[in-house]
Amino acid sequence: MLACGSLAAGLSFAGPVLAEEVAEGTVLNAASIDSLLDKTLQGQPIKNLLVGEQQKMIRQFGVTMVLTHTKPVNVTSGLLELTEKHKGEAKLDAGKHLVGYATGVPFPDIEVADPDAGIKLVYNALRVGWLGDALYLNPLYFLIIDGKKGLEKEQGWVYRRFLMSGRLTEPPVLDDTIAKYEALINVYPNDTRGLGLLTVNYTDGRLPDVYAYVKSLRRVRRLSSGAWADPVQGTDLLFDDTFGLNLDPTWYESWKIVAKRPALVVDHSILPPMDEKASGHAKYPFIKLDEPPFWNMQPDNYETQLVFELEGRPKSNHLVSLRRSFIGATLGAPKFYWQDMYDRKGEHWRSNQLGYKDFKWEDGRSGPSVANVLLVDVQRFHATSFGSSKGFHFNPAGAKQADYTPEALPRMLQ
């Protein structure tokens, strides 16, 4: 009997040992990460769910994740129906430009093995109105933060975007030569108030037309279109960083999907929006402005979602040598959840995290909204962040092309 009992005990220990499952609400931070890596969240090892430079950002820079169970991804109302209706129409020409496209997700069947899968994914993210045919974000406050000293300055902007194709509303194409109009108008502080920038992006991959209006001069001037990858003045962003990615895909040397994998992301943020009625740090309740390094978001819910790991390699004249992005793999919701950028020496330079939440648009649709954005320059120990406000409008009533032309810039500043 003793021998049999010993044998049974030995066999039981020889089998696989199941990892411990963490409770929902477990906090993953610098203090707990070593104790949690080998545990699981909904059966998946946590160490396998951390992507890119997330471990580094947790250990060295204070990123905090509240582990929660997966919820369904909210796909914009009507987008999947449009995708099915127009399936197969969009193509890539010899120069990798998108042709034959009207609306819906251009390439709904992304296969990792397809050599063109990477650029197709970028078109899926940039050319359809999954965040709205028109955006009107007023106010949009950039917080410029020094990791040692704290909040340096606040920049108040109004952001406007209007798609000319890939629209969810009829007609889906207003002008097949123009991809979108995009305007950024400064409203704070007073010493810079009155600057307006308008960018016209084209569908054939040519560089954009860029216009500036300076209120003190009462003139609209055309600027160089080669600044699409330059730093946004006073921030840690490059112009092609805004809203995760802002460019024509053909401006990069190459795009490659490395894998389709699960990742920890913020898809249902619980963080509050900016409080315009408050003053001081209380105006920005979504961010830890009183705790070094002063740029981290308040603890938010991270859940497991499938993502595409995408590598974008800019041309040699770009400040970045490699952009590694983790983009939602749910059809119709190509959200840029996390990105890491590397300098020309191949060293980690910046990390960009974006949080999303579900939102009811002004036209009655249900769709996603950007809840918060944080871009950290780990080499300069510096960051730029913004959160949502009650003035974020998706598909606002009355939006029309005439409101986004160079002639309309002065009116945008009123």
pLDDT digits (tens, 9 = 90+) for 368-406: 999 999 999 999 999 999 999 999 999 999 999 998 888
CA 391 to chain centre: 19
Instruction: Kindly report the pTM of this predicted structure.
Output: 0.94
Q: Residue 151 — φ and ψ, nearest 5°?
A: -65, 120
Q: What's the rounded Cα separation, in Å, for the pair 360 and 347? A: 40
Q: What's the rounded Cα separation, in Å, for the pair 130 and 368? A: 8
The least confident of 105-109, 138-142, 295-299 is 138-142
By C-alpha distance, which of 181, 102, 175 is closest to 135? 181
Q: What's the rounded Cα separation, in Å, for the pair 160 and 151? A: 26
Half-sphere exposure of 368 (CA within 13 A, CB side): 27
Choose between 194 and 211: higher pLDDT. 211
- Our CA dihedral for 361, 363, 366, 372, rounded to 10 degrees, sits at -20
pLDDT band at 225 (very low <50, low <70, confident <90, very high): confident
By C-alpha distance, which of 183, 231, 180 is closest to 350? 231
Cis peptide before 406 (omega within 30 of 0): no
Quote the pLDDT of residue 234.
83
pLDDT band at 282 (very low <50, low <70, confident <90, very high): very high
Quote the pLDDT of residue 409.
86
Q: In the chain, what percentage of residues exceed pLDDT 90?
A: 81
The secondary element (H helix, E strand) that includes residue 26 is none
Which residues, listed in sequence order, are joined to residue 150 by a DSSP beta bridge? 146
| pLDDT at residue 1 is higher than 50 | no
| pLDDT at residue 265 is higher than 80 | yes
Which residues in 329-381 belong to E strands, given as ranges? 336-342, 348-360, 366-377
Quote the pLDDT of residue 233.
76
Domains of the chain in start order, with CATH, are 79-412 (2.50.20.10)
What would the mean pLDDT of 254-272 be, rounded to a whole number? 98
Q: What does the angle CA 188 – CA 191 – CA 194 come to, to the nearest 5 degrees?
A: 65
The secondary element (H helix, E strand) that includes residue 159 is strand 150-163
HEC string of 215-249 equals CCCCEEEEECHHHCCCECCCCCCEHHHHHHCCCCH
Token match 């490659």: residue?
A: 256
